[in-house]
Structure 1
Amino acid sequence: MKIVTAGIGLRAGHVLSTLRGVMPEADIVGYYDPQPTHLDMIGTDIPGYPSVEAMLSDTQPDLFLVGSPNKFHLEQIEAGLRAGVPRIFAEKPVVVSIEETMKLAELLSEFGQERVMVGLVLRYSQHMLDLRAAMDEGVLGPIASLEANEHIGPYHGAFFMRDWRRRSDLSGGFMLEKCCHDLDLYNMITDSRPETVASIGGRRSFLAEHAPVSNAESEIFHVKPSVWENVDDPFRSDGDIIDFQTAILGYESGASLAFHTNLMVPDEQRRFCVIGARGMAEGDFVRGYLRITRRDGSRYADHDYTSGARAAQGAHYGADAMMCADIAAFLREETDRLPVSVVDALEAGVAALALDEARRSGTVVDLTDIWTQFDAYGLRK
C-alpha cells in the first residue's frame, strides 16, 4: 500500500502515523509540501517532490492524502483524480466555497465519488456509534429539534486567530473550518439537509482591548504553535473570522437546530441535545457522556466515555483511532463503506458557507436553488 501526502503539518502527520499503526503494510513513499513542519511524524527520509503532479506520476500511489491548507484542496483532489489514484483521503473541509463545491461535484460525477474519502472524524466516534444504534432501534423516533454547541478554549481560539485559518480566503471561514464536523453530524441525525438558515455572529473577545497584560496570561494564547502564514498576536491580527456565532437551521425533514460556537470558553464544551417524538439524547464530546432517555422517563442508555471499557483513547475523543481502523478495513476491502462520504462532507460545507452568508447579509438564506444545482450531478444515493 503506497501512500503519498500533500501537506505534512500536524494533522496530516497524526493521521498518517495513526493509519500506519493499524496498517503495517502502509508505506509512505513521498510528500509535497514547500514548508514541511512535521516530517518527524512520518520519517525524515521520505522523498519530497516539487509538485503534486510530479509526486503522483513518479510514485503511482494507492492512496493520496490531501492534508494541505483548505485553499489548495480542490486543485490537489482534481490532480489525484486525473492521475488515476485509486483512493484519495481529503481532510475537512473538502472545499472553501459554493463554486468549488459545484466544481468538485462535477469532478466526482465524472471520476466516481467512491474514490474520495474525507476526514469528518466525529462520525466515527463512540458517541455517534451508540447514538446511531439507538436511532436504528427507533428509540428517539422522528427527530423534531436539536440544540448544540462547540465551545473551544482560549488557547485553541488564539491558535485560530494566529494561524492561516484566521483568513477566510485560505480557510473558508471558522464555521466551515471548525464546525463542519458538527453540521455533518446533524445532517446525519436528521437524515436531511438544511433548507433555510439564519445566523448572527462577530468578534467580541479577540479584540485589542482584551489582550493580556501579563506575560503569564499571554502564554495561554501561544500554547498551540502555528507555522504557515502565522502572526504572533491573536488580539491584533489581520484575521477576518468570527469568535462567536449563533445559528438557526431548518431542515428538509422539518426538524430544526440551534447551534452556538465561541472561541473564548475557559471550560470547554461540545454538547448536543437531540429531541425526537419518542425520546431524547444528550451528550458532550469533551465531557465524555451520552444519555438516552425514552419519553416515559426511563433511561435507555447512560454511557460514560471517561473511564472503563468505553473510555476514549487518543485525539478527537478516541475517534481518530477508530477512523483509521475503519479506513484500513476499507482499503483492504474488508468493508465496502465508511460512515461518512465526500457527498456528506460537501453538504455539511454548503450549510457552513450558507450560515456565513446569512451572517454577513443579515437575511435568512434559502438553500433550495443550491441543492437543485448540486443534485443535478447525481451524487446522492
Structure 2
Amino acid sequence: MEAKDTVKYGIVGVGMMGREHLINLHHLRSEGVAVVCIADPHLPSQRLAQELAHLFNWPIKVYSGHQELLDSGLCDVVVVSTPNMTHFQILMDIINHPKPHHVLVEKPLCTTVVDCQKVVDAARKRPDTLVHVGLEYRYMPPVAKLIQIVKGGSIGQVKMVAIREHRFPFLVKVNNWNRFNINSGGTLVEKCCHFFDLMRLFADSNPVRVMASGAIDVNHKDEIYDGKVPDIIDNAYVIVEFENGSRGMLDLCMFAEGSKNEQEISIVGDIGKGEAFVPESIVRYGTREAGRDGVQTVKAEDDRIKYDGLHHGSSYLEHLNFLSAVRAKGVKAPAVDLQDGLISVAIGVAAQLSIEKGRFITIDEVLDKRNCKG
C-alpha cells in the first residue's frame, strides 16, 4: 500500500470512544485516511457519528451490525470500540472473515483470559491481518518520555514501578453496561489493564503473581439497573511480582476528583528514579548519586499531536503508529500486540480473583485456566 493510497477505515461501535476515534482519524486526513463506514445498533450513537462525519465531509455507510460492515467490503481497517463483553465475538468474526481487515481494538482485548487466548490463536492463522490493542497510555507524552528515560538506562535496572490513578468515577455508558463485572471484566481489567501493561513495559519482564485488596466503598451504591446494584469496585491496591524480581504497585481510587494529577507514575532503579505526572505533563528524574539537588524536571510534549482529545493526544499518536504498521504491509508489527493485550488482561483477572479469594494468585493459575480455589 503506497503512501498516496487512501486507507479506508470502518468503526464498529460509535459510542463515546468510537466517536473519539472518528475525530482522531479526521485529524489524520493529511496522512491519507478516511472513515467510510460505521456499525452500531444504538440509533442515538449512529446519529451522533453521522453528524460528525457530515461535518468532516466524509460520506459514510451506516450499518446496525459488524457483520454487515465486514461483508460490505468497503474498509481495509476496522476500529472496534464496542462494549468490552462484545469484543471477543466481533474480533473472531473479523479474523475469520474471508476478506482480511487490519484491526485496532479498544482495551481490554477481551473480558476473560480464555477469550483472549482464543483470539490470539485465531490471529496466528491470519498473517495477513494486523491486530493492535488500544493500550494508548504508552503514547501519552509524559509516559512516553519516562519510557525513553528508563529504556535509556538513566535510572539503572528497574526494581519498583508504582502507579497511582486517582480520578473520577466511571462515566455513564450506553445501557449502563460498564456498571457490572460480567460486562466489563471488572474494574481492574476494564480500567487498569493500561497500568498493568505499563508495569510490564517498565519492568521489562513478565508477571509471576498478583495480590490485591479492593472494595466498593463510595460509588454506585445507590444505583439500580434492572433491579441489580452495580458490583464494580471503586478502589484497590494491587501488587504485581515479575520474573526478574522487580515489583509493581497500583494505587487506584475512583472517587478522588480533588487531585491535581490523575496519574502519577514512579519508576525506581538501582541508580536513580523517574516520575511522570498526567495531565501536568511533567517528568522528573535523577540519580542517587546526585541526590535531590540533581533532579531534573522537563515538560513532556509531542509536536506531532494535532488533536489532544480525551487522552492527552495519546489516541492520535496511537493511530499514527498503527497506520505506519498498516502501510508497511506486514513488515512492521503493531507496537502493542495481542500478547500485550492478553497479559494485561491476565494481570487484571488475577487481581480481581485475588480480592475475591484473599490470597496471591499466580499468573499460571489464570493462564492455565485452572479452578482457583481458596
C-alpha separation between the residues in 2 aligned to 1:275 and 1:113? Answer: 40
- 1:310/1:170 CA distance change after superposition, 3 Å: closer
Give 3-state SS (helix, strand or coil) of 1:336's partner.
Answer: coil
Asked if the contact 2:130/2:333 (under 8 Å) is kept, the reply is no
CA RMSD of aligned residues (A): 3.0
Aligned match for 1:17, one of 19, 23, 26: 23
Closer, same or farther in 2 for the Cα pair 1:311/1:74, shift >3 Å? closer
CA apart distance, 1:166: 1.0
Partner of 2:289: 296
Structure 1 gaps of 5+ residues are 212-231, 374-381
Structure 1 residues 359 and 201: alpha-carbon distance in aligned structure 2, compared to 1, 3 A threshold: same
Of 173, 180, 190, the residue aligned with 2:186 is 173
Look up the SS of the partner of 1:8 in the other structure: coil
* Secondary structure in 2 matching 1:324: helix
CA distance in 2, matches of 1:264, 1:162: 22
Deviations 1:149-207 (A, max 9, x none): 11112xx4464799321111111111111111111111100011221111111111126
Alignment partner of 2:252: what SS? strand
Shift of the alpha carbon at 1:140? Answer: 1.4
Deviation at 1:18, TM superposition (A): 0.9
The 5-angstrom pairing of residues 227-238 of structure 1 reads 238=229
Task: Name the SS for the 1:111 alignment partner.
Answer: coil
Are 1:51 and 2:51 matched, yes or no?
no
The 8 Å contact of residues 159 and 270 in structure 2, kept in 1 or not, is answered as yes
Kindly indicate whether the alpha-carbon contact (under 8 Å) linking 2:161 and 2:268 is maintained by their aligned counterparts in 1.
yes
SS of equivalent residue, structure 1 residue 240: coil
Q: Structure 1 134/50 Cα, relative in aligned 2: closer, same or farther at 3 Å?
A: closer
TM-score by length of 2: 0.84
Q: How far did 1:245 drift? A: 0.9
Tell whether the 8 Å contact from 1:31 to 1:46 is kept in structure 2 after alignment.
Answer: yes
316-325 vs 88-97, which deviates more? 316-325
Q: Secondary structure at the match of 1:48?
A: strand
Does the 8 Å contact 2:38/2:61 carry over to 1? yes
Query: How far apart are the structure 2 equivalents of 1:147 and 1:161?
Result: 33
Unaligned stretches of 5+ residues in structure 2: 1-6, 370-374
Query: What are the residue-to-residue correspondences of 1:210-229 with 2, within 5 Å?
Result: none
Matched residue, 1:258:
249
Contact in 1 for aligned 2:263/2:278 (Cα 8 Å): yes
Q: How does 1:76-95 map to 2 (within 5 A)?
A: 76-83=90-97, 84-95=99-110
- Are positions 1:7 and 2:13 aligned together? yes
> Which string of whole-angstrom CA distances, capped at 9 and with x for unpartnered residues, describes residues 194-242 of structure 1?
211111111111265xx7xxxxxxxxxxxxxxxxxxxx779x9721100
**Pairing 1:54-69 to 2, within 5 Å after superposition:** 54-69=68-83
Partner of 2:84: 70
Distance 2:122 2:109 in 1: 13
TM-score between the two structures when normalised by the length of structure 1: 0.82
Q: Distance in 2 between matches of 1:54 and 1:311?
A: 32
Secondary structure in structure 1 of the residue aligned to 2:245: coil
- d(CA) in 1 for partners of 2:192 and 2:128? 23
Residue 52 of structure 2 corresponds to residue 41 of structure 1: yes
Q: 2:212 aligns with which of 169, 186, 199?
A: 199
